Each structure stands twice: as C-alpha cells, then as structure tokens.
Structure 1
Amino acid sequence: MSQALTERPAQSWSDEFRATFLLAWPLVVAQVAQNALFTTDVIMMGWLGPEFLAGGTLATAFFMPFLLLGGGIVSAVAPLAAQAIGARKIKNVRRSVRQGFWAAIVIALALLPLIWQIETILLAAGQEPHLAALAGLYMHVAVFVLFPGLGLFVLRSFLSALGSTQIILYTTIAGVIVNAVGNYALMFGNFGFPRLELLGAAITTVVTNAVMFGLLLAYALLHRRYKRFYILVRLWKPDWPRFVEIFRIGTPIGLTIMAEVGMFAIAAIFVGWLGTDALAAHAVALQCASFAFMVPLGVGMASTVRVGLAFGAGSDDAVGKAGWTSMMVGVGFMCITCALFLTMPGFFVRFFLDPTDPGNANALALAGTFLVMAGVFQIVDGAQVVAAHALRGLADTTVPMIIALIGYWLVGMPIAWWLGDASRLGGVGVWTGLAAGLGFVAVILTARFAMREQLGLLARRRMVAA
C-alpha cells in the first residue's frame, strides 16, 4: 500500500505528505550513512599518521568534485524515469536507465585520464612532493570507483523513481560496514591481510562501491516488482535521443552541485588565511551545518520523484502539491535547526573541541560564532536545495544552474572575500557571504517554481511522450 502511494500523484495534501515522508526518510538516513563512509576513511587515515591523512585528504578533495559532476549528470535518470512512470510509459523507464549506464561509462572513461594525473596537477599547484606522491598512490587505485560509483547513482535514481528508497538505505549501511572492515584489514594488516596503508584504503573504497552496486543491481533484476522493467535488456543498443537528453538535463545538475561545493571550498581557503583556530572553528560549524543539510537534501530527492510523477501524469495540481509539501517539510526542519544553532551553539561545538583544554578556548568561541551564522542561513539553505530538486522533476535544470552560478560565485563569493578580510569581519564575513549566496539562490529558485506555469515549465513533456 505504501509503495503504491509513492508511485502515483497524490489527490490530497495529506496523501502527498505521506508519500513524501515515505520516500524521503530512507534517503535522509542514507545520506547520513554515505557521510559515514568518508568519515570512516578520514578517521582511519588519521590512525596511520598525519602525512597519510594529508595525502588522502588531498586526493579526496581533488576527486570528489569530478565524482559529483558525473553523479549529477546521470541522476537525470530520476526525473526522466519518474515522468515516464507518471505517464505510464514503462518502456521509457528502461530506456532512461539503460542510457544512464551508457552515460556513466562514458563519463568515467573521460574523467579517468585527467584524474590519473593528480600527482602532476598537485605538484603544479604547489603541494609538497611527498604529499602529492601519496595522493597519487591512493588515486591510481581509487579512480576506478568511477565505474561502480556512477552506476550506483543510476540505480539509486531508478529505484527512487519507483518509490523504493529503503533498499538504498540498507545498501548504504552495508557499504559502511564493508568499508570499515576492509579498511581495518587492508590498511593495518589485520585478519591475515598485508598492511597496505593508503593503498589499502583505496582498494577498500573501490570494493565497497562495487559491493553496493552489485547489491542494488541484484535487487533491481531479481525483485518481482522491478524485474519487469528489464533494465539490462539490449544494454548494448544505442538510444541517442535519450542519451542526449540525459546529458541535457544532467549536465546542469552536475555543474550546479560543483558550483555549490566550490563555493564552500573557496570559503575554507578564505578562512584559512585567518589562522589555524579560525579554520578549525570553520570546520566544526560546517560539519554541524552539513549534518543538518542531509534532511532537506533527502526531502529534495523525494521532491524530484514526486514532482516528476505528477508532471508525467499531466496533473499540474499534483505538481504544486508535491513541490510545496517538500518545501514545507524541508524548510520546516531547518527552522528547528536554525533555532538550535542560534540559541545553543556551544552545546554542539563541544562535541568536536575539548572545552577543558585551554588551548581550544579561541577556536571554541569562533566555532560558536560561526555556528550562529550557520543558523542564519539554515532556512534559505533548505529552501534552495528543495526548490532545485523540485525543478529537476520538471526537467528544468539549465536556468537553475545559471541562477546557482550567479548566486554562489557573483553574489556569495565576492561578499565572502571582501567581508572576510581580517580588517573587516573576518570569519563572520565569510559566513555572511555564504548566507548571501544561498539566500539569493533560494529566493530566485523558489520564485521560479511558484511561477512554473507562467514560465511554461509545465508544457515540457517532450521526452515523456517520445
């Protein structure tokens, strides 16, 4: 009954709320678990020593934007599949998934030679040679995660479109366990395995993603509800219109994600100019904000599916219900975190910095101040991510990408750079810039969804009918 509810447009606000909740909560927890994968790697690299942690961190920081770019592109499968399901065109679901796999392979093959040159690129960027060498050692194995990793994005998009998000959660939890055990065995030479240190972490990363991909693929092929889609039938057969459509819709999604990730990465550099305490405080506040962000992100993913279903079914009323319900849920949660960060920032920062150590006094004070600023932008951060995902359900991605680029890089970054100078507001100024960029994007994207009919966004059903 619950899955049937998530596979059709809702007739009432209460039905839409239930369907959104059923879709979103496993995705929220899965996002938290996904973060745990990276957290496990960081912790265990730290056990190896500072140099290994620094080398692994350099490699991951270099690699993640490319993975997110590719993942954003192939995640176009979600709105396309949801629209096809809403239009009751089952064959088009298979076409979208099949070409999603094609796109994943093409993207992986295109990115692999570039990422392989990580050591050369890091040396050219002025990094220390021994750290660049460690990053290269790690990445020359970990780069092959592109193939199962991008395939995972495709399968998650397919299963999310069908309302089957709990299996995504269970698979991610399984991945966390495999990753932790694999790291413990291969990095440190336990259970009779050789001690491979950073190379062991890279092998485990690839194996973990391959296991997760295999589990989801087996589920999609063998479960009676999903095997009827025959997603691997004639996989070798090209479908150029659908292949091009995935890149048309997905490329702006990937670039939007990179724009936001890049804004926060550059902000860290600005804060780093202010000293070690400021950078440590920034990391603490950002971790708290990132954890809270997982909720509207999961709700936004559900919104893409719910809006796409209604859009494909031709129900403009249901499109509105789906988008605004997700907005209320996502922003409503961020109102709670906003209140918590504003009223009790010290409670949260003490989880990361020992308050009994006198040497942490300045960092603790700065972290509390930065977390208050994070509280200020909680609401707009939730609004922008849900609005962006709702628009993706309408296959509207190019204009939102332009809005994001303007908001993050022409509004947020200049403010963060100017106000972030030590002679002005310092770290508070950097966070003010982040809030301004997110606020700009949130207002414009929300207005765009509200004006979807006037802008002609509801008339775009070309690929569903094809």
Structure 2
Amino acid sequence: MASDNKGEWRSELRATLSLAWPLILANLTTQIIQATDAVLIGRLGAEALASVALALGLTFAITLFALGLLTASAPMMATALGARFNAVRDVRRTFRVAMWAALLMSLPIMALLASAEPLIVALGQEPRLAAGAGEFLRGYLWALPPWMAFQVMRNFLSVMERPGWVLTISTAGILVNLGAGYALIFGKLGLPALGLFGGGLASAITWTAMALALAAVLVTDRQFRRFHLFGRFWRGDAKRFAGLFKLGLPIGLTMGFEGAVFSAAAYLMGLFGAASVAGHQIALQIAATTFMVPMGLAQAATVRVGLALGRGDGDGITRAGWTAFALGVGFMALMAVLMWAAPRPLIALFLDDTPANAAAIALGTSFLLIAAAFQLVDGAQVVAAGMLRGLHDTRVPMIYALVGYWVVGLGVGVWLAFGRGWQGAGIWTGLAVGLAFVAALMIRRWARRDRLGLVAPLRT
C-alpha cells in the first residue's frame, strides 16, 4: 500500500509538472513582455521609467481584478471535464460568457486610462511624471481587450492540459514586442520616435497579434474544434454569466486587493521622489518575474484540484494541492537566495550605472533585498489560493486578502515609512508582512478543508 501511495504521488508530480511548466514559461514570457517595455524605456532615463511605473501602477490592480474574474472560468471548465457529463456543452458555455465578460470589462477600463493624467496628479504625483504616464497609457490602453481575450483562451487550453500553444505564442510575442518597442520608442526602421506613447502602442500591437494567433489555434486544431468555442458567440446565457461572476468576483477582488496594495505602494513612493518610484519599479519587475513560477503552479493546482473534485476523489485533491505547493515554495526559496546574493547586477539590467541613476539603483537594491525576504510567503499565498480555487472556495480567501494586504500590510508599511522614517524600505517591509499574514491564513484554510465542508458536499 505504501508503494502504491508513493506511486500516486509521483504520478501527481509528473502530471502537475506536465501541466505547469508550459503555464510557468507562458507566465514568464508574458511578464518579460512587460519587463521589455521597462528595459527599453529605462534607456530614456530614470524619470521616464518612473512615469511608466505610475502608469502600470494604475493598471495593475484593475487588470489583476479582471484576470481574477476571468480565472473563474478555469475551475468551472475543469470540474465539467472531470464530471464528463455534458462536458463539451458546459465548457463552451463557460468559455463564451468569459469572453463576453472580457470584452465588457475592457470598455470602462479603457475609458479610465484614456483620461488618467489628471487622476495621477490628483493622487499627489509630480505633474511631469503624470504627463509621461498619461502618454504611455494612451497607447497601452488598446492592449486590454486582446489581453483579456487571450487569458480566457489560455484558461481553456490549461483545462485541456494543452498549454504548449500558449507558450509558443507568448515566446513569439516577446520578439514582436521587442521589435515593435525598439522601433516605436526610438524611431527605428523608418518609423517616428514616439517615446513613451510608442512603448504603450507596442504592447497593444503585441497582444492583438497574440490573441489572434491563439484564436486561430482554437478554430483549427482538431482536438479543440469539437467544442465550437466561437459558435453562437452572440447567444445570451444569463445563468452561466451569473455563475461566472458569483465564483469569479471574489477571485477578482482577492487578486485586485493584492495588486492594489502594490499600486498604492508605487504612489506612496512618488511622495519620496522619482528615484524611489524608479527603484520600486525595478524591484517590482524582478519580484513579479519570479512570482510567475508559483503563479503558474497555482493555475495548475486549480485545474488539477478541480479535476479531482469533479471525480469526487478526495485523496486526489490532497495530492494535487500539496504537490503544487511544495514546488512553488521550493522555487521561491531558490529565488530568495539569488536576490540576496546578487541584487545589484539584477538592478543593472534595467538602468545604466551612471551618476544620474545612482540614487534609483541604490534604492532599488535595498528594495530587492526586502523582496528576497518575502519570496517564500509570496509563493505560499498564491499557490494556496489556487488550491482553494480548485475547490470553488473564493469568498473567504477574498476577506483574507482584504485584511492582510490593506489592513496589515499597508498599515504596517505606512507606519514604518512615515511614522518611523523608513520611507520606501518601510513600504516594502509592510508588503512582506501582509503577504506573510495572507499566506498563513490560506494554508490554514486548505489544511482544514474537510472540517470546513469545502470538499464533502461537492463529492455527491
């Protein structure tokens, strides 16, 4: 029996890695697309990079909320496939309403970003930085509809355990974004130099191309054609739409609360000057890049737990969750060591080591050392949240996120930054404390899932 049990854990490890590694690499390539913008715009100077940090800070929470809401389509489709009854029809219904949600959410967000400059000034930022942020966003806002559509299609491929196409297209997207950004920002290849606006526009071009390519795969691949995902696309489905929002709204708010606290951190950094904002943006880009690995494992955990839930397999739920958790925390431990060992070379990837950038580099280095300290808890909280989403458990984790990020994390950060005079280092320390608080609560809830009735009612 013990041998059989070990074999089942090894089988789960293989299945999780098989599903997760393309998702991880796709997450990394997606993050690299954004990091490419930061690297290119960083060549315009620390002030230009600070403007982009404020722009992306404004979009971060909003786009994470949208991503979270759309993420609900993954466990819904996974559970339908696990149950096998009316699977094709149920998957198509969920996919269709998720695409509708993506398109509907993009419209008000685009309207907000189109007039972002006065909002950024009203939030206490320097007018010249706000002007640069507005310039970037006027190009970047057109990336939102294709980006959201891409996420829904990616969820479907993850549930089908065929995420390789996402990786292939995302990798090509890096090259497209690099070429488009280089040409449009600096005026190469016969194009005008559009500066910050060109950087935003390059992202829009890249995501449009990626969404169209992935849609072509879903329409032409033999395995996916049977779902007729785009068939009767305009057909209403109020019940399934409501189901998506019921499950997805807490996920969106959970992710939005986390994103918003990092956005708030960027704007608090603006009170300490452009160098603090630039240093914060660099450290955040590096931390966000490492975060893509446990995020991919969390997505795999949601699918694997959801499939086991659909089968009514309690032991399978346990194996799926803890396997992803161990992989995610283990990877983040390695990243913590790397950040502690070589912070300055990592910072130098984004800013030239010149006297004009010295302050931003020094601050970014100090922020990155703190980011190294919270790698473990950041990985733990995101994978644990993915495990709970596989059980369709989203409302209580949302409350954990609200309290952990906004009451504990931001509260400690503001106190240290302003009350104790730590400034930017205080903000980052508060973020670390908030992440640790949320991680502890998420893990405890997963460990008590049977006692809380998160599994048993759904086995029938």
Do both share a fold (TM > 0.5)? yes
Stretch moving more, 93-102 or 71-80: 71-80
Match of 2:263 among 262, 265, 270: 265
User: Structure 1 residues 281, 392: CA separation in 2 closer, same or farther (over 3 Å shift)?
Assistant: same
Aligned to 1:438: 435
Q: Structure 1's 205 and 21: CA in aligned 2 closer, same or farther, altered over 3 A?
A: same
After TM superposition, the structure 1 = structure 2 runs for residues 204-243 of structure 1, keeping only pairs within 5 Å, are 204-243=202-241
The 3-state SS of whatever aligns with 1:100 is helix
- Structure 1 residue 77: deviation in Å? 1.1
Cα distance in 2 between the residues matched to 1:55 and 1:277: 11
- Whole-Å separation in 1 of the counterparts to 2:47 and 2:353: 27
Equivalent residues of 1:303, 1:326 under 8 A apart: yes
Measure, in 2, the Cα distance between the counterparts of 1:53 and 1:345.
19
Of 124-133 and 324-333, deviating more is: 124-133
Equivalent position to 1:87, from 83, 87, 101? 83
Assess if the C-alpha contact under 8 Å between 1:156 and 1:168 holds in 2. Answer: yes
**Per-residue deviation, 1:178:** 1.3
Counterpart contact for 1:86–1:309, Cα < 8 Å: yes
Deviation of 1:261 after TM superposition, in Å, equals 1.8
Report the aligned-residue RMSD: 3.1
Q: Which residue of 2 aligns with 1:3?
A: none
The equivalent residue for 1:5 is: none
User: Following the alignment from structure 2 to structure 1, what is the Cα–Cα distance between the partners of residues 124 and 313?
Assistant: 55
Name whichever of 190-199 and 177-186 sits farther off: 190-199
Q: 1:144 aligns with which of 134, 139, 142?
A: 142
Task: Kindly state the Cα deviation for residue 66 of structure 1 after the two structures are TM-superposed.
Answer: 2.1
Tell me, yes or no, if the aligned pair for 1:119 and 1:132 is still in contact at 8 Å. yes
Note if contact 1:271-1:420 (Cα within 8 Å) is conserved in structure 2.
no
Kindly report which structure 2 residues correspond to 1:296-445, keeping only aligned pairs within 5 A, or say none: 296-342=294-340, 360=358, 364=362, 370-421=367-418, 423=420, 425=422, 427-445=424-442
Is residue 159–residue 165 contact of structure 1 (8 Å, CA) maintained in 2?
yes
Closer, same or farther: CA 186–354 of 1 in aligned 2, 3 Å:
closer
**One of 51, 65, 73 as aligned partner of 1:69:** 65
Shift of 1:449: 1.1
TM score, norm. by length of structure 2: 0.87
Report the alpha carbon displacement of residue 345 of structure 1 after superposing the two structures with TM. 5.2
Q: CA deviation at 1:310?
A: 0.9
Alpha-carbon distance, 1:439 to partner: 1.1
Task: Report the equivalent of 1:113.
Answer: 111
Assess, with a 3 A threshold, how the Cα gap between structure 1 residues 107 and 211 changes in structure 2: closer, same or farther: same
Contact 2:348/2:361, CA 8 A, preserved across alignment: no
Instruction: Classify 1:242/1:265 alpha carbon distance in 2 versus 1 (closer, same or farther; 3 Å).
Output: same
Give the structure 1 partner of residue 3 of structure 2: none
* Shift in CA distance, 49/450, structure 1 to aligned 2, threshold 3 Å: closer
Cα distance change of structure 1 residues 61 and 361 upon mapping to structure 2, 3 Å threshold: closer
Larger mean Cα displacement after TM superposition, 216-225 or 371-380 = 371-380
CA distance in structure 1 between the aligned counterparts of 2:166 and 2:400, rounded to whole angstroms? 31
Q: Cα deviations across residues 92-123 of structure 1 (Å, max 9, x unaligned)? A: 11111011111112212333333333234234
C-alpha spacing 1:335/1:14, structure 2 compared with 1 (3 Å): same
1:47 CA displacement: 4.4
Aligned mate of 2:447, from 440, 444, 450:
450
**Equivalence map 1:249-264=2 (5 Å):** 249-264=247-262
* Matched residue, 1:7: none
Distance 1:233 1:111 in 2: 27
2:182 aligned residue: 184
Assess if the C-alpha contact under 8 Å between 2:275 and 2:359 holds in 1: no
Give me the whole-angstrom Cα distance separating, in 1, the residues matched to 2:275 and 2:52: 22
**Distance apart, 1:351 and its partner CA:** 5.7
Aligned-pair identity in percent equals 42
In structure 1, give the amino acid aligned to 2:29. A
**Residues 200/439 of structure 1: CA separation in 2 closer, same or farther (3 Å cut):** closer
Match of 1:30 among 26, 30, 42: 26
Moved more, 310-319 or 424-433: 424-433
Query: Separation in 1 of the partners of 2:285 and 2:147?
Result: 24
Q: For residue 6 of structure 1, what is the aligned residue in structure 2?
A: none
Change (3 A) 1:52 1:423: closer
The CA distance in 2 between the partners of 1:140 and 1:118, in whole Å, is 9
Residue identity matched to 2:96: R
Per-residue deviation at 1:214? 0.9
Number of equivalences: 453
Deviation at 1:129, TM superposition (A): 5.2
Question: How far did residue 271 of structure 1 move?
Answer: 5.2
Deviations 1:62-115 (A, max 9, x none): 233322222221121111111111111222111110111111122123333333
Rounded to whole Å, the distance in 1 between the matches of 2:18 and 2:268 is 40
Matched AA of 1:321: R
Greater Cα offset, 16-25 or 141-150: 141-150
The answer to whether the 8 A contact 2:42-2:351 is kept is no
Counterparts of 1:55 and 1:368 in 2: how far apart (Å)? Answer: 20
Partner in structure 2 of residue 45 of structure 1: 41
Q: Which residue of 2 is the match for residue 159 of structure 1?
A: 157
Mapped partners of 2:53, 2:334: distance in 1:
32
Structure 1 position 20, deviation (Å) = 0.8
- 1:291 aligned to 283, 289, 309, which one? 289
Report which stretch shifted further, 149-158 or 372-381. Answer: 372-381
Q: Distance in 2 between matches of 1:114 and 1:351?
A: 32
TM-score, normalization by structure 1: 0.86
Do the aligned partners of 2:351 and 2:357 also contact (CA within 8 Å) in 1? no
Does the CA contact (< 8 Å) of 2:46 and 2:357 recur in 1? Answer: no
Question: Partner amino acid for 2:38?
Answer: V
Deviation at 1:337, TM superposition (A): 2.7
Contact 1:52 1:198 in 2 (8 A): yes
Deviates more, 1:36-45 or 1:281-290: 281-290
Query: In the superposition, relative to structure 1, how do residues 225 and 460 fare at CA in structure 2: closer, same or farther (>3 Å)?
Result: farther
Structure 2 counterpart of 1:29, one-letter code: L
